[in-house]
Amino acid sequence: MADVIIAGGGPTGMMLAGELALAGVDAAIIERRPTSELVGSRAGGFHSRTIEILDQRGIADRFLAEGQPVQAAFFGSTMLDMSDFPTRHPYTLGLWQNRIERIMAGWIEELGVPVRRGLEVVGFAQDDDWVDVHLSDGKQLRAQYLVGADGGRSTVRKAAGIKFPGWDATRSSLIAEVEVTEETPTAMRIDEVGVHGLHLMEDGRTTRVVVTEKHLGPATEPTLADLSTALTDIYDTDFGVHSPTWISRFTDATRQAANYRSGRVLLAGDAAHIHSPSGGQGIGLGIQDAVNLDWKLALVVKGTAPNSLLDSYHAERHPTAARALRHTMAQALMQKADPRVGALADTVADLLTIDEARKRIAGLISGLDVHYDVGEGHPLLGRRMPDLDIVTAEGPRRIFTFLHKARPVLLNLGEPDSIAVGPWADRMQLVNAKYDGE
């Protein structure tokens, strides 16, 4: 028996499990893949706010050591400079998802998180006190809570009866890693069908292919023949593609769970929202879901907060994701070389030369502008805490260094010891500090 069972061991599920482990909550992951190695490179990185979150847990350097910082906040073809943003990480980190997952798997292993591989959550039954989780091997586990982080076709979401409204796909693309026998173009291509490109991978042998299909593809696993057809439609050749490592199909379908919670069952990541990959926000949205949910789950599991605290997860994350989903739909629309779309793109590009407009869109893409509605009061309420340089009794420190253990921190910038934490002393860390900045 575990306190929390997490269905799905991707970036969202692993982040949630790691956070819960730091909070002293017994969490276990159920993952259908038999090994921790993700086949294929998949997604290509994440933006500033996600890097900050990893920095808050003291593990950002693991990702930075393997990735490449780049300016990759784009709207259409317009690059949005983020160098003046108030963060230590005003950039996107280019890092393939298989490497992201390998690093995260190492982290949760250090934290002692159990991962049961080669199994799926196929259903559950819940009452007022427990969730009985049914597994694909016919066995059953009991937990206080179940979190579905099991992707866009989430079994947990379907079993919970949570509706998934949104917009159907209008366009599909194939993404693959293959070998080729012909020379390939080096530049991305945008035409009336969509965006296409072929890129030689680091091994010097494998080519990563992204090609928009001329017609909307079926909801089935794509084949090498499908890839060959799609490439021939665009380039009049398939470049002799062969020996695929993996082939996948993605679309611009956009959907969001009507509720992120049903009793003792919650959703996170792609199980809660799917969208076009335009803008590169997928991994970041899921990780941000996880860190919003984890501390609430931990407090409720430990009995130090009422069950109703979990309702704030939906209240905060649903509108944030809805805004991001609207953005990805707009981004996807811009990825066609249609004269009318081109006119719109030129107009938007002109508007983005205005500083306020640039900052508004770049803040949304990067996740640095997230603002939760936690009531009226100071204008900073509900906004992210920047990683300020402060001076403590132990010397100069960064604020994020106090967050490595995932415990609440009360930062006192007034007179030392002028704040009494009273009965909450065992739940938070009080830091007396001075800040000389503005």
142-181 tens-digit pLDDT: 999 999 999 999 999 999 999 999 999 999 999 999 999 9
Which residue spans within 217-301 are E strands per DSSP?
242-251, 254-256, 261-262, 265-267, 273-274
Q: What is the pLDDT of residue 44?
A: 86
Taking only the tens place, the pLDDT of each residue in 210-246 is 999 999 999 899 999 999 999 999 999 999 999 999 9
Helix (H), strand (E) at residue 12: helix 11-22
Share above pLDDT 70 across residues of the chain, in percent, rounded to a whole number: 100
Report, as ranges of residue numbers, the positions in the chain whose pLDDT lies below 50.
Answer: none
Cα–Cα distance, 284 to 208 (Å, whole number): 22
Measured in degrees and rounded to the nearest 5, phi and psi for residue 210 equal: -130, 125
Q: In terms of C-beta density within 10 A (0-12 exposed, 13-18 middle, 19 or more buried), how is residue 65 classed?
A: exposed
- CATH number assigned to the domain covering 2-166+255-366: 3.50.50.60
Query: Which listed CATH number (1.10.260.40, 3.30.70.250, 3.40.50.150, 3.30.70.2450) goes with 172-251?
Result: 3.30.70.2450
Residues 381, 58: Cα–Cα separation, whole Å: 25
Alpha-carbon gap, residue 431 to 435, rounded angstroms:
12
pLDDT of 438: 65
pLDDT of amino acid 36: 79
User: Using an 8 Å Cβ cutoff, are 46 and 283 in contact?
Assistant: yes
Domain ranges within the chain, ordered by starting residue: 2-166+255-366, 172-251, 389-434
Q: Which has the closest alpha carbon to 228: 273, 214, 216, 85?
A: 214
Could you tell me the two tokens for 378?
């100071």
